[in-house]
Amino acid sequence: MVQISLYNTKSRKQEPFVPQDPRNVRMYVCGPTVYDRAHLGNARPVVVFDVLFRLLRQEYGAEHVTYVRNFTDVDDKINTRAAQSGRSITEITDETIGWFLEDMGALGALEPTHAPRATDYIGQMVTICAELIARGHAYEAEGHVLFAVDSYADYGALSGRSVDDMIAGARVEVAPYKRNPMDFVLWKPSSDDLPGWDSPWGRGRPGWHIECSAMAQELLGATFDIHGGGNDLQFPHHENEIAQSRCAHPEGDFARVWMHNEMLQVEGRKMSKSLGNFFSVRDLLDQGVPGEVIRFVFLSTHYRKPMDWTAKKADEADRTLRKWYAQAAAAETGAQDAELLAALADDLNTHGALTALHRLSGDGQGGALRAGLQLLGLMTDAVPDWAATPTVDLSGWATRLADLRTEAMASKDFSDVDRLKAALIDAGVEVRMSKAGVELSPQPGFDPSRLEALA
């Protein structure tokens, strides 16, 4: 068994991962608010923690790992979308959850052990609110239940900020019913036109932060191993989760290891609708970018570094995967490569794992290459249809092009080389020419009849 080590945001250092119970390794990751398609940035934590899920299953056994990723299906954004569209909230959330699972599945993400919807855990949220009030950590005001931040001395420990810094750097809702500007909502009243549930404080609905605490407590217990999510959730969402969970269940530690992935850029710029570079996973898939290619680009950057999506990276990933699939298709799945496993165990160094796959490819180790591709979620049992390479012998054309190039080097007239190269490309052949020689690769859509006219 390889020793996994992970960077813990809470301690600000990389630590050996020692699960509380090796036969019951538990991980919680914050999932989407379901009102629209998942954009590319939403997919990064899904892929990051899917790799960790796969690594944990590899090391501890699939039956000994529990992974929870929630759906937030009660939220003001959903209410707004329903009001704007005239559709029911249930219709919107059911459709969006289906989209999310389909799109993430296209990226090779395994479904978690549990994918709870927040609305199925309202009773547990009410119970936590009542417990926090009883313990003096929350109070009721004008139909709201609010967490009293000054009642928890360690508030801010995860993000490393003082309360004063957090007030200065956050959009704090100023409300007359708050005792402290930093106090956050656990429960809020609902009007007749909004979703609501009965509670001791009247008809209402939960605040965002309480949802994850309730689902994590119910499915994983008061103490579990790993809590993950995007870096943007560190404050206030995760900070608030810790405070309310530790105060409601002081017998537990809540999450022992906190992991956060960095954000995503597009062509070197922040993804933004105003910049015209904002797109969903489905947009890329519909444009013909394979899910495996999207995943490969994600894995090429360490999860704690900003990731830059570029068309060039996607093209390079496409070419690399086609080459690897051709090699892996001819081999039985072998043992996992030690260097690849070591890279993943070193705080999910996926870039290092891909480097190991390049080495296995160069060494002709098809079986180990296939095993590594499967562990990284880049290949199932079969080569994907988009990468299926037509079986054709192009060695004669490669020799002909190489001979023409040799003649052109002497005559300085490359017109025949350019014509043949253009004809090959038009027929659906990828042409790579280097000092080492000429390499031709038929691509999907290859039409050999176009070459017959050149013979």
Whether the predicted pLDDT of 170 surpasses 60: no
- Helix/strand/coil (H, E, C) string of 256-297? EEEEEECCEEECCEECCHHHCCCCEHHHHHHCCCCHHHHHHH
Confidence of residue 394 (pLDDT cuts 50, 70, 90): confident
What number is the average pLDDT over the span 312-336? 92
Task: Return the ∠ at Cα 51 (arms to 49 and 56), rounded to 5°.
Answer: 90
Segment 95-105 mean pLDDT: 98
Read off the pLDDT band of 444 (50, 70, 90): low
What separation in angstroms does the CA of 18 have from each of 4, 29, 302, 347? 8, 18, 22, 13
* Structure confidence at residue 351 as a pLDDT band (50, 70, 90): very high
Percent of the chain's residues with pLDDT above 90: 80
Average pLDDT (389-400) is: 78
Q: What is the pLDDT of residue 273?
A: 77
pLDDT exceeds 80 at position 173: no
Handedness of CA 369, 370, 371, 373 (dihedral sign): positive
Give the three-class secondary structure for 5.
strand
Question: Cα(216)–Cα(224) distance, rounded to whole angstroms?
Answer: 9
Q: Are 262 and 253 in contact (CB under 8 A)?
A: no
Query: Residue 171 pLDDT more than 70?
Result: no
pLDDT value of position 72: 97
Which of helix, strand or coil describes residue 439? Answer: strand
d(CA 249, CA 252): 6
pLDDT confidence tier of residue 172, bands split at 50, 70 and 90: low
Average pLDDT over residues 294-321: 95
Residue 46 is encoded by which pair of tokens?
């899904």
Average pLDDT over residues 50-67: 98
CB atoms within 10 A of CB 13: 9
Percent over 70 (pLDDT), the chain: 96
pLDDT at 52 over 60: yes
Q: Return the minimum-mean-pLDDT range out of 72-81, 107-116, 130-139, 169-178.
A: 169-178
**What is the DSSP code (8-state) at residue 390?**
P
pLDDT at 195 over 90: yes
Q: Which amino acid, residue 313?
A: K
- More confident site: 307 or 388: 307
The token duo for 125 is 């949220």
Give 238-285 pLDDT, tens digit per residue.
999 999 999 999 999 999 999 999 999 998 888 887 777 889 999 999
Token code pair at residue 315: 């093209």
- State mean pLDDT over 287-303: 97
Question: Can you tell me whether residue 90 is helix, strand or coil?
Answer: helix
For residue 314, give the nearest of 300, 328, 329 by alpha carbon: 300
For 43, the token pair is 């997919």
Q: List Cβ<8 Å contacts ≥24 apart for 412-421.
A: 420/454
Mind listing the domains of the chain with CATH numbers?
5-264 (3.40.50.620), 288-387 (no CATH), 395-452 (no CATH)
Residues 365-373, mean pLDDT to the nearest whole number: 97
User: Cα separation of 372 and 357, whole Å?
Assistant: 7
Dist CA 86 CA 100 (whole Å): 22
* Reported pTM: 0.86
Q: For the segment 200-248, what is each residue's pLDDT rounded down to a tens digit?
A: 999 999 999 999 999 999 999 999 999 999 999 999 999 999 999 999 9
Residues 258/8, Cβ–Cβ less than 8 Å: yes
3-state secondary structure 156-200: CCCCCCCHHHHHHHCCCCCCCCCCCCCCEEEEEECCCCCCCECCC
pLDDT computed for residue 163 by the predictor? 67
> 454 pLDDT exceeds 90?
no
Alpha-carbon radius of gyration of the chain: 27
| DSSP 8-state assignment for residue 35 | S
Calculate ∠ Cα 267-376-325, nearest 5°.
85
Three-state secondary structure call for residue 255: strand
Q: Is the pLDDT confidence value at 402 over 80? A: yes
Q: CB neighbours (10 Å) of residue 298?
A: 25
Cα gap 365→332, rounded to integer Å: 10
The count of other CB atoms within 10 Å of the CB of residue 226 is: 24
The 3-state DSSP class for residue 146 equals: strand
1-14 pLDDT, tens digit each: 899 999 999 999 99
- The whole-chain average pLDDT of the chain stands at 93
Does the pLDDT at position 165 exceed 90? Answer: no
Given this model, what pLDDT does residue 291 score? 97
Q: For residue 237, give both structure tokens.
A: 């969402």
The predicted structure's pLDDT at residue 387 = 84
Q: Say if residue 54's pLDDT is above 80.
A: yes
